[in-house]
Amino acid sequence: MPLRGDAMDLPRPFGPYTLLRRLAVGGMAEVYVAKTRGLGGFEKLVGIKVIHPRYSEDEHFVQMLVEEAKLSVLLTHVNIAQTFDLGCIDDTYFIVMELVEGADAYKLLQRAHEHRTPMPIDVCTYVAAEMCNGLDYAHRKKDVSGQPLHIVHRDISPQNVLLSFAGEVKIVDFGIAKAAMRSGQTEVGVIKGKYYY
């Protein structure tokens, strides 16, 4: 069920979900606001990262996606967007995650720059402290046997920090995180993540 076509085709079904609106389009995925339904009219809004179909044929990419989901689902913290599910519908992979209504820190910084208004120091320190809380939790997280996972995000940047309208700070995209549970080491000379961060 490739999601080709434009956002005007929404809402539309996607397995057990209904895609309501598109939030973002990137080189590897599209992110949607979606709804899941249950018994007795139960409904929940979620975010769904739908991987572009061309990446479904790339075994390395699919393995990286599975590793991201397996790692992210272990993390339950107020400053980390929660992962709920990983699936594949008609050769289209997706990750279901907590919906954070708001904007990423990059967009907030862009807006401040456009209006030639510096970000207030108290806002910057609050966001930085909340990010540190989430990153510290991830690094100290232990597996079921009590062994530390030593998770390092490796792509922490303004685009991967979401700020909700309620004032919550949530880290997303642990796709290239390094953890003790992962097999293999980073190749020598390979930079993971965004160069400046």
Give the catalytic positions in this structure.
155
Tokens of 147: 């062994």
Tell me if 18 sits within 8 A of 35, measured CB to CB.
yes
Cα 10–chain centre separation:
22
Give the closest residue to 56 by CA, choosing from 95, 5, 92, 94: 92
Tokens of 69: 């989901």
Give the closest residue to 46 by CA, choosing from 35, 55, 54, 56: 35
Tell me if 15 sits within 8 A of 9, measured CB to CB.
no
Cα 94–chain centre separation:
11
Cα–Cα dist 83/91, whole Å: 20
Strand, helix or coil at 64? helix
